[in-house]
Amino acid sequence: MTATVMAIETFSEPLVERSVPLPEPGEGEILVRIIAAGVCGSDVHIWRGQDVRTSLPLVPGHEGVGLVEASGGALADVDGNPVRVGDIVVWERGLACNACYFCVVLRDPALCMKRRTYGIHVNMDEPPHLNGCYGSHIMLRRGAQLFAVPGGIDPAIVVPAGCSGATTAHAFDMHRPAIGDTVVIQGPGPLAIFAVDFARRSGAENIVVIGRESPRTDICRELGATHVLDRKKTTEEERCARVAELTHGRGADWVYECAGTNGAVAEALNLARRGGAVLTSGIAVPTGEIPVDWYHTVNAKNLRLQGVFLSDTPHLRMALSLVYANPQIYAKLITHRFALRDATKALEAVERGETVKAVLLPEEA
């Protein structure tokens, strides 16, 4: 028996299909047959050689859902329920060390300096070689934290929870809007879609999305966005004025930047009210320096800023809670479905910004 994977062997070149002998799971390991793998914006950065965490050859794919095919011992999900061969599961994508100060004293594995991620850090040369989701199979390491996917849920719609959803959940876990707050969310990709939903579930009164009108903003509206400010049809001054108007001149209580541009971060600092909060998660690769007028935007406003990076099991659980509550809306995120062998096409589509979310479906021929 063999597994099929799509590997990056040269940056920016088409991914190469490879066969890998199917290993037996060692103690605590889990062999999962991939049902759907997410194609993340980060995968494009990785493919283009812009992500310093990666070495080649690599099977990309850190978001996935699959079916348990074999395991080295009895399994249970995080709720303590048994997981059996044939069950559909999703898992925490990070491999923290569970031994360092960040993991065991600060109890915050997302900070672990040894944390690795399937499909990002774990090279294909490292046994058991099935280290990413762009393949027919992945082998989960001992200690994998599993969530059983409930019956009746299309596994593909669970995929975005694993990375975009969990990262945004991390933001809300670090600092949450209060009941009645005005929230601004910049950059309507998958991070923002989850952010709209989390903001509504945090009691925000106004949820303002800044971005181009598109199917993405439609989903935002459906999940609770109360205002969309089209970045192409408004100036920064007009957007600040609109937010000021909604807040009786105070400014936004809580701003979430997930646009990924230096300009968006700078605008966020202006949009927030005195004593407000700005959380930034969009900048996931180096973008140079952002000039900050510290006196006016940070100090004199008692502003709170929070960088947001990665996530941990609690955040995956938070994101899943949203998807399971509104599967029919989250289904709309999955705008593109590709066969595994079309992984390169999928990356190109994501790079062109055509997708809300693209997934690979290894079982489709």
Within residues 96-125, the interface with a second copy by CB under 8 A covers 98-102, 104-108, 110-111, 113
Applying CB under 8 A, the span of 31-39, 128-136, 209-217, 315-323 interacting with a second copy comes to: 315-323
- Minimum Å distance from CB 34 to a second copy? 23
Determine contact, residues 153/81, Cβ cutoff 8 Å. Answer: no
Within residues 116-175, the interface with a second copy by CB under 8 A covers 143, 145, 169, 172, 174
Q: Which is nearer to a second copy, 33 or 115 (CB)?
A: 115
Amino acid identity at 205: E
- Site membership for a second copy, residue 202 (CB under 8 A): yes
- Minimum Å distance from CB 111 to a second copy? 4
For 358, the token pair is: 């693209």
Cβ of 83: how many Cβ atoms within 10 Å?
A: 18
Q: Which is nearer to a second copy, 18 or 250 (CB)?
A: 250
With CB under 8 A as the contact rule, the residue among 85, 241, 292, 331 that binds a second copy is: 292
Q: Residue 182 pairs with which residues in a beta bridge?
A: 206
- Minimum Å distance from CB 314 to a second copy? 5
Cβ of 213: how many Cβ atoms within 10 Å?
A: 15
Which CA distances in Å does 151 have to 148, 162, 278? 9, 18, 38
Q: Give the x-and-dash track for 226-265 against a second copy (CB under 8 A).
A: ----------------------xxx-----------x--x
Closest CA to 198 of 41, 286, 325, 11: 325
Cα torsion angle, 46, 52, 53, 55, sign: positive
Within residues 45-74, the interface with a second copy by CB under 8 A covers none
Q: Which is nearer to a second copy, 122 or 258 (CB)?
A: 258
With CB under 8 A as the contact rule, the residue among 310, 334, 343, 346 that binds a second copy is: 310
Determine contact, residues 209/235, Cβ cutoff 8 Å. Answer: no
Cβ of 205: how many Cβ atoms within 10 Å?
A: 17
Amino acid identity at 27: E
With CB under 8 A as the contact rule, the residue among 20, 39, 120, 284 that binds a second copy is: 284
Determine contact, residues 223/329, Cβ cutoff 8 Å. Answer: yes
Q: Which is nearer to a second copy, 47 or 102 (CB)?
A: 102
- Minimum Å distance from CB 142 to a second copy? 11
Using the structure block, give the residue that is written with the tokens 């952010």. Answer: 195
With CB under 8 A as the contact rule, the residue among 10, 76, 353, 363 that binds a second copy is: 76
